[in-house]
Amino acid sequence: MTDSSLPASPRWRSGLEQEYATLADTLAQLLPCLEVPLHLPWIDAIRQLKQQRGAVIMAHSYQSPEIFHGVADITGDSLALAQAAADCDSDLIVLCGVHFMAESAKILAPDKTVLIPDLEAGCSLASSITAADVRALRERHPGVPVVSYVNTSAEVKAESDACCTSANAVQMVEAMGVDKVIFLPDRYLGSWVATQTQVELVLWHGQCEVHEKFTAMEARHTRERFDAKIVAHPECAPEVLAEADFVGSTSAMGKWLEKEQPRRVAMITECSMADNLRNQFPNVEFIKPCNLCPHMKRITLPNIHACLRDLKHEVVVAHDVSVRARAALERMLAVGRRERI
């Protein structure tokens, strides 16, 4: 229900541009400049609502700049957001990402209210496998532990021995302490992990609908046409990774840029990642072979505002599923981030 004591609908008011001058300057470098005044009333209203609700807004690195820079309190990759949910002091979390991320936040913070602005913000990887599929894999490979990428549903996590992100996938596989591991659901990430370890991997056939679109030809063309360094996410196909100067997770890409400071770089990942990094690295020219995640882009300033105003849509995970999935996620958090840059 709408609380009549909450601020009115977003509207332009005198002094708004001056009040948000610093943010407006930042966004003007990352977005078409004519968009910025349209975003400011929404940003202002969300910030007021957030304060009144005592909410924390968490945004994934693939969120658009007006969300990532404009309203988020905590930003980062899947691992960073999972850790933040586990440590969060607020009783109300708004997760600006996709549904499996909101589920993970709820699992790690079961006593808190977790909201997602759009329930349809899904993930092609998460939808590629079910809990029944995991049980069938276990039957075909008795005694072999399961490591599931966080891009999976709560039910799949509950059937897993451990979770991982792209930031610690190799370390999680090796932490199982065995010669063979079932790794799911991303076959491309799994193929890359297999090149980094002696552990034999049983792979699933899932793939990210954003990263699978990139081609080796695009990477080569970008390097040759723009004299750019190529930085790729391991969810890309092996032939794309073979063209890259660096392969790493969302957070590792930023750390590599900080270390190397290339003149030009192409980020072979979701397009908004480059938008959000441009502010951090003003001396780096970003060449964008741009693919957008349609699920991430379901999250908008208007539906974040509605989410806070009406306290919708609450993410609920069944208790028995939550308990088992939490054990897999906590095993991931115990290993943490172990990438070599």
Q: How many CB atoms lie within 10 A of CB 196?
A: 15
pLDDT of res. 275:
87
Is 108 in contact with 82 (CB distance < 8 Å)? Answer: yes
| Position 3 confidence tier, pLDDT thresholds 50, 70, 90 | low
pLDDT tens digits for 163-198? 999 989 999 999 999 999 999 999 999 999 999 999
| Position 5 confidence tier, pLDDT thresholds 50, 70, 90 | low
Structure tokens at 70: 């404009």
pLDDT of res. 31:
87
Query: How far apart (Å, rounded) are the C-alpha atoms in residues 196 and 181?
Result: 14
Is 166 in contact with 336 (CB distance < 8 Å)? Answer: no
Query: How far apart (Å, rounded) are the C-alpha atoms in residues 218 and 235?
Result: 16
pLDDT of res. 45:
96
Residue 126, amino acid: A
**What is the arithmetic mean of pLDDT over 127-146?**
98
As a whole-number percent, the residues of the chain with pLDDT over 90 amount to: 83
pLDDT tens digits for 286-299? 987 678 899 999 99
pLDDT of res. 279:
85
pLDDT tens digits for 26-60? 999 888 878 999 999 999 999 999 999 999 999 99
pLDDT of res. 340:
67
pLDDT of res. 217:
94
pLDDT of res. 33:
75
Instruction: Determine if the peptide bond prior to 313 is cis (ω within 30°).
Output: yes
pLDDT of res. 169:
95
Is a pLDDT exceeding 60 seen at residue 2?
Answer: no
Is 235 in contact with 186 (CB distance < 8 Å)? Answer: yes
pLDDT of res. 1:
46
pLDDT of res. 4:
53
pLDDT tens digits for 220-264? 999 999 999 999 999 999 999 999 999 999 889 999 999 999 999
Q: What does pTM read for this prediction? A: 0.91
Query: How far apart (Å, rounded) are the C-alpha atoms in residues 163 and 5?
Result: 42
As a whole-number percent, the residues of the chain with pLDDT over 70 amount to: 96
Is 195 in contact with 170 (CB distance < 8 Å)? Answer: no
Query: How far apart (Å, rounded) are the C-alpha atoms in residues 106 and 302?
Result: 23
**What per-residue string of b and e applies to 137-147 under the rule 16 or more CB within 10 Å gives b?**
bbeeeeebbbb
Q: Tell me the DSSP string of 142-198.
A: TT--EEEESSS-HHHHHT-SEEE-TTTHHHHHHHT-SSEEEEESBHHHHHHHHTT-S
Is a pLDDT exceeding 90 seen at residue 14?
Answer: no
The gap between the terminal CA atoms of the chain, to the nearest Å, is 48
